[in-house]
Chain A
Amino acid sequence: MNSKTLGYILKRLGLAILTVWVVITVTFFVMHAVPGGPFTSEKAISAAAEAQLKAKYGLDKPLMTQYGTYLKDIVTKFDFGPSLKQRGRTVIVIIKDGMKTSAKLGIIAAFLALIVGVVLGSVAALRRNKAVDKIIMVITTAFVSMPSFIMGALLLLLFAVKLRLFPANGSTPAGLVLPIITLALYPMAYITRLTRSSMLDVLGQDYIRTAKAKGVSQKKIIFGHALKNSLIPVITYFGPMLAYIVTGSLVVEQVFAVPGIGRAFVSSITNRDYPMIMGTTIILASLIVIMNLVSDIMYKVVDPRITLE
């Protein structure tokens, strides 16, 4: 690693930290700009009780002081405060709880998308303009333009309601099959298209022709030369894929009633559980930012041909 690469990584790291800070700040001030405090939706409470509640949660202090405390708690203790609606539980505990299911869901979906996508994309590229290629391209085009909630709802309808192959409720392991497939379909279609086009690009390169001319077997050309290089653009998709899976899980968990972070987030929005909304937004956003950073750096490190600007 030379100094240029290091400089690039530092610059990107700086931008990532800045982004996370912007997310925290925007989330904090946006949530505090909402008219009516978090307690207005509750049954009428006396002014004294409200003042006490506010004092308990530190809401009676000036806004900038609250902001400072909030930021300090996150950085030093990774503490996002207590949940307003789930008494006695802190935001971070709820998030950790939901993450167990959601992370499982997301990671399996990501691997599924990656493996199936790369295989289908390579097949399509190698059988270019044949029937297989055309079928794969038509199907992936359809998948790319179908919103995740529609996809999830249709899968639910077909496999859970009509065919009764899987339970419609996502709280059991068998019930996680459909949500995983729903989450995986879009990134899978995207990776297929990405792999296909980059594989076609690589197959047209001089070194592939050289390998062919030397008499290297087809198998060795594909697995030894073409595949590795055609996977480089796929690395850049890691960040957006995670972002998709995170936001996709919001609706998918809703559709299949999966007890994960996405459902907790959506219900915190409907319940106006402000600390919970803030905490979840910040953690999920940071996750996406970090993943984007990692995939960008990996992209530059893996391929020395790419120049750093």
Chain B
Amino acid sequence: MKTNPFSMHIDVDAFLPASDAEKEYMVQMRESSTFFKDGMKRLLKNKIATTSMIIIIVITLASLIIPAIWPYTYDNMLGVRPGEPVDSSYNNLAPFTYGKTEKARIAAGESIFPHIFGTDAQGRDYFIRVVYGTRISLAVGFFASIIVLVVGITLGSVAGYFGGKVDMIIMRIVDIIYSLPDMLMVILLASVLNTALGNKLDGTPFAKIGSNIISLFIVFAVLYWVSMSRLIRGQILSLREQEYVLAAQATGAKGSWIIRKHLLPNCISVIVISTALQIPNAIFTESFLSFLGLGVNAPMPSLGSLASDALNGVNSYAYRLVIPAIVISLIVLSLNLFGDGLRDAFDPKLNG
């Protein structure tokens, strides 16, 4: 039947049930991809980032597991035994050599676990000190970043969402802290807090961590939140104008609810990426302070204090400097590369 192209009559043929072939065409062949899956796929395609991630995971696991199974501990001076004079043959052992009593035990047929990196000037197994120092450095970097994250998100989202006077006050504080020379302030605060905290921690659960690390955390919480909060504020400022926020407000949702349930989940990629890039920064600062003697409390080692100690005997025991140097460079480099990869994978817009 020939129809007039301008006819208003409905073409009945268009309403026939779909044939099987047509139905198959519409079947979803592949599961729909989520934001996270998409990002992970891009991340895993990036060889440099994947390699860095594997290195970080290996180093982290090693620093967690090895101290539990290793026969030596980081503060055990092998030459010191109760009731006997100090056996100095254990001090400054070269790699894979043994102290006097150990040699005697080997001669008697016992097998002794080797000192892979030898021992330090006080007869402590150097390998476990490096492992433990790595653990401390990683832990400080991680927790300091978490602290920065919490403070930065709270203040940044409050400033961004509420705006007005609150925003102005917070942003002026940010401006001032931003223009302060951070490292000098860190040194100043770390040296003072350390003395101020001193013995006050005794008896509290914090005593074990040591006043130095606690003061380091406080310094991070006070000084390093600014760039994170600026970032979050910027994100929230643009997200705040979205319709779903208006809808939430119309249904009577409170500010804190909107921030937590609507705004923050939408800037999660920015948050994760900048946290990842904060960790190497924190490790850097910790090792710097430890190198100056303001970091961890002795006898606890950190990669910075190990390098600093090794500097005194650099003429005879160069490897003791090189080992922590390599470990710290490797950690910082891999974390930086991984952070970059994360940024490329999850937020291509950020890559300026």
Q: Does B175 contact A (CB under 8 A)?
A: yes
Q: Which residues of B contact A51 (CB under 8 A)?
A: none
Q: Does B280 contact A (CB under 8 A)?
A: yes
* With known contacts A34-B196, A35-B196, A154-B322, A145–B280 Cβ distance under 8 A: yes
A282 to chain B, nearest CB (A): 9
Count A/B pairs, Cβ under 8 Å: 124
Interface residues contributed by chain B, number (CB under 8 Å): 41
Return the contact of A145 from the options B195, B294, B307, B329 (Cβ within 8 A).
B329
Whole-angstrom distance between the alpha carbons of A145 and B195 in the complex?
31
Q: Which residues of B contact A26 (CB under 8 A)?
A: 185, 188
Q: Which residues of A contact B185 (CB under 8 A)?
A: 23, 26, 281, 285
Return the contact of A27 from the options B188, B322, B328 (Cβ within 8 A).
B188
* With known contacts A153-B314, A255-B311, A285-B180, A270–B189 Cβ distance under 8 A: no
Contact string, A124-159, partner B, CB cutoff 8 A, digits 1/0? Answer: 000000000000000001101111111001101100
Q: Is the CB of B321 within 8 A of A153?
A: yes
Chain A interface residue bracket vs B:
35 or more
Q: Is the CB of B188 within 8 A of A161?
A: no
Q: Is the CB of A150 within 8 A of B325?
A: yes
Return the contact of B180 from the options A23, A33, A250 (Cβ within 8 A).
A23
* With known contacts A146-B329, A149-B288, A161–B314 Cβ distance under 8 A: yes
Q: Is the CB of A277 within 8 A of B188?
A: yes
Q: Does B134 contact A (CB under 8 A)?
A: no
Whole-angstrom distance between the alpha carbons of A18 and B285 in the complex?
26
18 contacts between A and B (CB under 8 A): A15-B179, A23-B181, A33-B192, A33-B196, A34-B195, A141-B333, A147-B328, A149-B308, A150-B329, A153-B314, A157-B322, A246-B183, A250-B187, A250-B292, A254-B291, A269-B187, A269-B294, A277-B188
Identify 16 new A-B residue pairs, CB closer than 8 A, beyond the known A147-B328, A154-B325, A289-B181.
A23-B181, A27-B188, A30-B188, A31-B188, A36-B195, A146-B329, A147-B332, A149-B287, A157-B314, A157-B322, A161-B314, A243-B181, A246-B183, A266-B292, A272-B195, A289-B179
Chain B residues packing against A (C-beta within 8 Å): 175-176, 179-181, 183-185, 187-189, 191-192, 195-196, 198, 280, 284, 287-288, 291-294, 304, 307-308, 310-311, 314-315, 318, 321-322, 325, 328-329, 332-333, 336-337
Chain A residues packing against B (C-beta within 8 Å): 15-16, 18-19, 22-23, 26-27, 30-31, 33-36, 141-142, 144-150, 153-154, 156-157, 161-162, 243, 246-247, 250-251, 254-255, 266, 269-270, 272, 277, 281, 284-285, 288-289, 292
